[in-house]
Structure 1
Amino acid sequence: MAAEPTSGRTDAAAARPADPESARRAVAAVWRIESARIVATLTRAVGDFALAEDLAQDALAEALAQWPSTGVPANPGAWLTTVAKRRAIDGWRRRERYDERLAAIAHDLEAEQSDAAGTPPWDPDRIDDDVLRLVFVSCHPVLSREARVALTLRVVGGLTSEEIARAFLVPTATVQQRIVRAKKALGAANVPFEVPDRAEFPERLGAVLGVLYLIFNEGHAASSGAEWMRPELSREAIRLGRQLAELVPQEPEVHGLVALMELTAARFPARLDRNGDPVMLTEQDRRRWDRGRIARGRAALARADALGRGRGAYALQAAIAECHDVAASVEDTDWEQITLLYEALGRLAPSPVVELNRAVAVSMADGPEAGLRIVDELAASGALANYHLLPSVRAELLERLGRTDEARAEFARAARLTANERERAVLLARAATGRGTSRSAPHQGSRAPE
């Protein structure tokens, strides 16, 4: 049975007094692991997403107050849920709202208390629709992109406002305001707590995947700040992606995105030098790549393929990442296959960034002149006028052709366009010397330089 708050009883065999710091760590760990399930369960019970999140936060505060003296209960997630439900009942009583919601939530509490000793109110390994509903609510189209990211990391990922703010280099107050506005927007739009109808599912799932993709890319190559990477963000995106893959195992693009993230993150250990400066794909020590992630990524791509519905944009990018990860060296890389995969990606999800990536793949397969022709066409179109990787790639190709002065000018232009301090320093060094320790290569994602 779930351990109860002070007004009830705790499992004395499992709950031992803990010092405040241990209790704080326990609360943080439980929230990180079970926040999605707790908030989802509460949302279903009270019928209000914003209220559910507030109740969960109140329960966390109660845990911080009680657990140092009563100990961490045997089923801390259930404890938090029970406390939150009782807070809801108390609120309804104060407002004289004895209705079917009160009866339903009281019935749930009675059922939990009648369970056999030590039996949790839910199976920790069971995945139910409540969490999936919560994912879709957090990524609802009524919210801005920034609000979707903040809300997803907060209520699905279990990150605190401070952690989110630190990851995206914005004030904590800004993140808190985004979350508050997001909850108000969901309430004003009367967004239902449900999985979308099958007709809406592809578009809505695409929004969810887009949020995870954005979070991963920001960790893979930070858009601004003093650090080139924020791997903790990428790891969080992978964790959420795996969770989503368990929730919707028949959706190939979910497995495709997980594969892309795993295969790309496999190279993280070799992407920075001792000073924290970028090391491009062509210069990385492949012995440092994470073989476990490569195996998991390839398995996820195989699961996507096994569903027999063809590869989508994420799976195609994962296949490109796989080509890099299985090659023993840059020279051994199957550049012809990568070029073909980028051509397929360009037809399925056309964009100037995909075309820029294809240009680099073409340059590796057919020579720098062939790639430069594509890059020059992109430059002439103006589609990537403020995108620093366009002059960066052009500089690389010019350097390979021996046009050093032109290359240095392009490196300088790229440095002016990037907001990332580490990347700017590397580009300025290339502009000053005309040479460098790294070289750009085809990349996956919307902006990551490899």
Structure 2
Amino acid sequence: MKIEIINYIKEAVRYRLVQASGSDEEVNFPEFDFAKDNSEFSKFVIENKLQIFEILILLLSILPHVSPGFLTNILSEYFPNGSDFPEFGGVKGTNYRGIIPTGETALYIVADDNFMARNFAIKAFDESHIFHKKSILSLGSAPEGEPKISGKLLLDNEYIELFVYGSISKPKLSQDFPAELLETSMEWGDLVLQKKTLNEVNNVLVWMEHNNTLLTDFNMEGKINPGYKVMFFGAPGVGKTLTASLMGKHTKKDVYRIDLSLVISKYIGETEKNLSQLFNKAKNKDWILFFDEADAIFGKRTGVRDAHDKYANQEVSFLLQRIESHSGLVILASNYRSNIDKAFTRRFQSIIEFENPGVDERRELWGKYIPKAFMSKALDLHRIAEEYEVTGASIVNIVQYACLTALANKEDTLSNATLIQAIQREFIKEGRMV
């Protein structure tokens, strides 16, 4: 963050404290032309058409991260005798030794004791405000019996990174964030699926491209459900995860795979907490959420026999509620459609079957995965595609082993014999008849 912007909020605080302390120091309210600045903070201000009071509140929330001792030092400067100044607000942290600004601090800097101005500025903490809608800034919880406005100004960590350091790092898989970013080096043209499957996947892409236009330009918001829920089902290795990854890459959206083992907790209430943290993070991020092996939580339910069953059903209901209200794309994947409770499937806009690749698809997959340097005219990929039923994931394993074998044997290209030997090895590994 530029020093000029930091100085802007510092001067705004100084201006207000000079008035409160009765100092004869001449300080004018600062000015800064955000439209002429190219920092990420200024870009955000201009893009979202923020007003002065909103800018000041945001900058106050950033101040402890860029100038930890400023608020403590400036209060000491104008109130050297340690005079209590409740109008300024602020609290001490557990480890942080400076003053953390609160909602009271924000209202004081923005409006002083102007009642009408304070009532206007306090709207920055409403649920209808952009700060809440985009999960940018919020008020921390105040102790019971104390004014809500005395809660800390809490700026989302991603916006701290953006405004202070100029970029946002991707969240990492952890207990607090039970999801991992799916990435692939492959491109959309590398995806090989049966035609009817690919057509259904393309229908989802149509929604991703045109849904916002439908909602905003044709007054459909509120008339149709937000977001899009789709189920992928098919045997392991047929491309469900790869398709989700490529859909994100193709549309320039991050895809996060939910680790249900981290989400589901044996402690009552913890599952809902874990899910809330995840969906709150995903809200307004335009992420694709991918629930792999979804039957672990959406499997067929049994009758309620004990308290454990009761809370398990509550967890599923809570997850369904969050999925239905999510405004983006949610993909649930399962090996078998029959594993998913029918009560859940009716909530999907699309259910897509990923079948094992046919002869044509297998021929294309062999051609894509075998490196050109290992190709030869003697290699009969069409016959191999006809005779050996394998999935895309199996083909990757087979090609890797076959190429390593060729290199070990000092062979320049793959032979039918080497490739078939690798296929037979893969069959044995899978417990199939050779």
* TM-score, reference length from structure 2: 0.29
Q: Which has the larger radius of gyration?
A: 2
* TM-score, reference length from structure 1: 0.28
Structure with greater strand share of residues: 2
Structure with greater helix share of residues: 1
